[in-house]
């Protein structure tokens, strides 16, 4: 997919109660979250992965041959859609809050033939940041889409700690299906070599050799990502129904990704409107999704 020209480098810095959040105009992407103790919690990009916390819209991962099919037409749509690579408009701002908006355009219509408005809001709290998504369908027919967030947190959270000393604790046991992808397309089988039925995962690089851990039929609405020192990221979400955990072979960060929708199946060739895993928003309807990051320091 081609990219539109962009100023690309403009950033907004929010501050409250010792927290400092940096958000880029391009992609409405968080780029830094520094706590009152001066500790950086977000991955600062690098050879392992050049991003920090991209927005996934209107697709999660990929479609076969990177083609979206609607009404017997094919539309080229790249990895994770286009929102992460486009400039948003700042529509509301204060010292500790910003809302950025993206509307459909002739460019987006060449890749996704539905009108939309996507609003991303960031609001600092006294313990972290609240991230809110709103999707509005101004059109005259239902629109299918996937939406998610892809924040990468430093792993280890404390540089002196070993990666294998970190754990993820879910709010509830997660005995449901664990799915995997190949080439970012959803595989049909259920991954059975790893269980989260106890609600806890002791992190290790080998868990991600086969790619992301994808939880469908998610029971929890919160988790804790803990370091051995007690430094902890508390993540709570609403509106999202799936979640992925991912780290690259090189390590350095852990992505904790709330999703609404799944990657396209590896053999999918049907109309996007026929996918049951996606969100389907009615004409003139608005839907909301949110997650909150709260920081606990030793």
pTM of the shown model: 0.95
Domain edges within the chain = 11-296
Confidence class of residue 2 from pLDDT cuts 50, 70 and 90? very low
- Provide the phi-psi class of 41: left if phi over 0, else alpha when psi is between -120 and 50, else beta: alpha
Q: What is the mean pLDDT of the chain?
A: 95
- What residues contact 160, with CB distance under 8 A and at least 6 apart? none
Between vectors from CA 117 to CA 112 and to CA 121, what angle results, nearest 5°? 125
Three-state DSSP state, 226: strand
Any idea which residue has 């852990």 for tokens?
254
pLDDT in tens, 97-121: 999 999 999 999 999 999 999 999 9
Architecture of the domain defined by 11-296? Distorted Sandwich (2.70)
pLDDT in tens, 30-71: 999 999 999 999 999 999 999 999 999 999 999 999 999 999
Of 1, 287, 265, give the one whose Cα is nearest residue 144: 287
């Amino acid at each position: 997919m081609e990219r539109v020209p962009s100023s690309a480098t403009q950033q907004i810095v929010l501050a409250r109660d010792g927290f400092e959040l940096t958000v880029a105009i391009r992609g409405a992407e968080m780029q830094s979250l520094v706590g009152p103790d001066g500790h950086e919690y977000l991955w600062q990009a690098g050879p392992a992965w050049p991003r920090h916390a991209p927005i996934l819209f209107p697709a999660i991962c990929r479609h076969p041959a990177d083609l979206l099919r609607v009404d017997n037409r094919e539309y080229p749509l790249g990895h994770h859609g286009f929102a992460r690579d486009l400039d948003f408009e700042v529509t509301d701002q204060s010292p500790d809050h910003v809302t950025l908006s993206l509307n459909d355009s002739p460019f987006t219509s060449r890749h996704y033939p539905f009108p939309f408005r996507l609003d991303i809001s960031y609001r600092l709290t006294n313990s972290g940041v609240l991230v809110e998504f709103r999707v509005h369908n101004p059109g005259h027919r239902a629109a299918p889409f996937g939406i998610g967030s892809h924040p990468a947190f430093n792993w280890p959270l404390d540089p002196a700690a070993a990666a294998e000393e970190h754990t993820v604790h879910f709010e509830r046991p997660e005995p449901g299906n664990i799915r995997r992808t190949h080439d970012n397309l959803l595989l049909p089988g259920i991954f059975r070599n790893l269980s989260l039925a106890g609600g806890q995962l002791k992190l290790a690089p080998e868990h991600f050799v086969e790619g992301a851990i994808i939880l469908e039929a998610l029971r929890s609405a919160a988790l804790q990502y803990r370091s051995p020192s007690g430094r902890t990221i508390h993540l709570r979400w609403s509106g999202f129904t799936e979640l992925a955990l991912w780290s690259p072979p090189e390590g350095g960060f852990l992505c904790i990704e709330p999703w609404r929708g799944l990657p396209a199946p590896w053999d999918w060739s049907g109309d996007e409107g026929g996918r049951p895993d996606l969100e389907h928003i009615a004409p003139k309807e608005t839907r909301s999704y949110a997650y909150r990051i709260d920081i606990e320091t030793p």
